[in-house]
Amino acid sequence: MGQSEQRLVWLARSGDREAFSELVSLFESRVYRAAYALTGNEEDARDLSQETFVRAYKAIARFRGESSFFTWLYRILLNSFRSSLRKKGGVLEVVSGELASESSDTSAGSSSSAEVASGRETADRVYRAISSLPHEQKMALVLHCLEDMTYAEVARAMGCSLGTVKSRIHAARLSLRRQLLGESGVDPAAR
């Protein structure tokens, strides 16, 4: 945790709303991206992100600094995700939509519309495949691959062992490979 981030956390723990607002600004895009990868659609991702920050605000005074603020925040995100699954009976609707990555948005001016459409289709397929994973695998994969958390950080965020995280990520990757290669007509066993 950088010094300015530590300072903001300390101020937020002391009740400084503006400091907490700055922390939200620092992490909102990362939290939304992870929430989107977990839920598979914009509306649920927005709701989950908002719920995460509301819970974090209510609990900031109890943040002990035993992990980074980032890891603590993602633990709240995962707990919020689990709660939303229980409320919805374990089902989250996957909606295809504006799934294109930021890179395809920025390259749209230099790419043909067919290439952009193809990129969006690929992104749709990947998000649908991620959304279909078992929840624990999905969470581990999202935190490690999309949010660049180390295995140890993922283990702390998920409250499980390092070996469990590695196993979940390995199983998720195998499942994604089977799904994505199966959809494209390539025999996954041939690879």
Number of domains in the chain: 1
With respect to residue 184, please indicate whether it lies within any of the assigned structural domains: no
CATH code at position 67: 1.10.1740.10
**Helical residues (DSSP H) of 88-142, grouped into ranges:** 102-106, 113-131, 135-141
| Predicted TM-score (pTM) of this structure | 0.62
With respect to residue 57, please indicate whether it lies within any of the assigned structural domains: yes
Q: What angle do CA 38, 147, 12 make, to 5 degrees?
A: 95
With respect to residue 112, please indicate whether it lies within any of the assigned structural domains: no
Q: What is the pLDDT of residue 163?
A: 96
With respect to residue 174, please indicate whether it lies within any of the assigned structural domains: no
With respect to residue 67, please indicate whether it lies within any of the assigned structural domains: yes
- Only one residue has tokens 């600094």, namely 65
Where the chain has pLDDT below 50, the residues are 90-110
With respect to residue 46, please indicate whether it lies within any of the assigned structural domains: yes
Containing structural domain, residue 71: 1-93
